[in-house]
Amino acid sequence: MTVKVTQPQKNVREGLSNTPKVSATVRPAGILSAYKNLLDNSSFLISQRGDYETTAQAVAGGTPTFAVDRWYTYANGSDTEQQIFNVVLPNGQHAKSLRTTLTGITTNTWLHPGTKIEPERWMRGQYITVSAWIRTNIPGYRWRVCDTITCAMIGDHIPSDGQWHYVTATHLLPEDMALHEDAVTNNIQIQPGWQDYGQNLTQNVSYIEFAQPQAEIGREATPFEHRQYQDDWTRCQRYYQRFGATDIASATDYTNFATAHGTNSAWYVPIVLPGGRMRIPPSLSFSAASDFRVTLQHSDSDPVTSIGYGYNNHTNPNLSVQAGSNGANRTRMFGWGGTTSAWLAFDAEWF
């Protein structure tokens, strides 16, 4: 069963009269959740990787890439860019939108941004309804849900007139859906747009843009759930955590944030993740090794020459660091090396 409501752009008074009516979200008996929306960062407020309102994020063809937290852009045969805009929707609400624009080769290209959620046992056999305000100039787009068993194009085609339309669709999750608890690679893929025809895209012209995306258990789309910033921040940190010297005043850019324990081969640095436990043991990235130091604070201080993993887990990854002369049973501090551009990141997303 699919449901679709579409409303072209009009004035605020008319838009308010066409706002979807509130209806109860149906959940299995005994299931309680703080949020009805299964999607994180649907207001696009959390963006640990950069500010994409002023500068678009370039995305290489064939490489799913995150800009704002939890939302990736992907095109299989072309470069794209992803950017955040401040918009006023036809229902009068102010919102942030996420736009993906084709910027490269156009032959046999599929352009489909999206996000992923963890399938849980209680979701099996339940209807899931997706909704968003969407505008695009690309024909042939529909909602797409991959439920760990199959990928389904759901709902009607989205008008390609470049106007905002409120689009919803409903999908039945399978009784034998694979679960995240059984294998951390299992996920439900949610994509506001997937082409089933019309691959003739135009470089620097073709785009899809959406705002207030939502996925909820039940057969009806209900009004968009607004979350507080801190709530979304906390949920996003299960998948990505980045912190750096830019998070503190420039006068303290020599701050130390971990203890370095010396051995004959390396300094081992246990990290207490500020956002707590992550989905899986995360991958590691950083600005540059030389942005960090191992020090006794202004004396016996050595710049870092390499950073890697000594040990990795969900909660306290342990870095293996080279800096100066290593030595067993020595203790120093690990921190920023005097540059405000230093950062350290831990990634537990699916890509």
Q: What per-residue confidence (pLDDT) applies to 246?
A: 73
* Cα within 13 Å of Cα(280), Cβ side: 16
Biggest alpha carbon–alpha carbon distance for the chain: 72
Q: What per-residue confidence (pLDDT) applies to 146?
A: 97
What average pLDDT does the segment 207-230 reach? 97
What is the rounded distance in angstroms from the CA atom of residue 67 to the CA atom of residue 76?
Answer: 17
Instruction: Between 280 and 3, name the one with better pLDDT.
Output: 280
Q: Sorting pLDDT into bands at 50, 70 and 90, what band is 298?
A: low
Q: Starting from the edge strand earliest in sequence, which strands make up the sheet with 141-146, in order? A: 115-117, 188-195, 141-146, 151-154
What average pLDDT does the segment 180-190 reach? 96
Residues 157/193, Cβ–Cβ less than 8 Å: no
Instruction: State which amino acid sits at residue 32.
Output: L
DSSP per-residue codes, 163-227: S-EEEEEEEEPPTT---TTT-TT--EEEEEEEESS-----TTT-EEEEEEEEEEESSS-------
What is the rounded distance in angstroms from the CA atom of residue 79 to the CA atom of residue 56?
Answer: 13
Residues 323/267, Cβ–Cβ less than 8 Å: yes
Handedness of CA 104, 110, 111, 115 (dihedral sign): negative
What average pLDDT does the segment 282-302 reach? 90
**66 burial class (0-12, 13-18, 19+ CB within 10 angstroms)?**
buried
Residues 263-287: tens digit of each pLDDT: 989 999 999 999 999 999 999 999 9
User: Residue 104 in 3-state DSSP?
Assistant: coil
How many Cβ atoms from other residues are within 10 Å of residue 303's Cβ?
15
Indicate the average pLDDT of the chain. Answer: 88
What average pLDDT does the segment 293-313 reach? 89
What average pLDDT does the segment 197-217 reach? 91
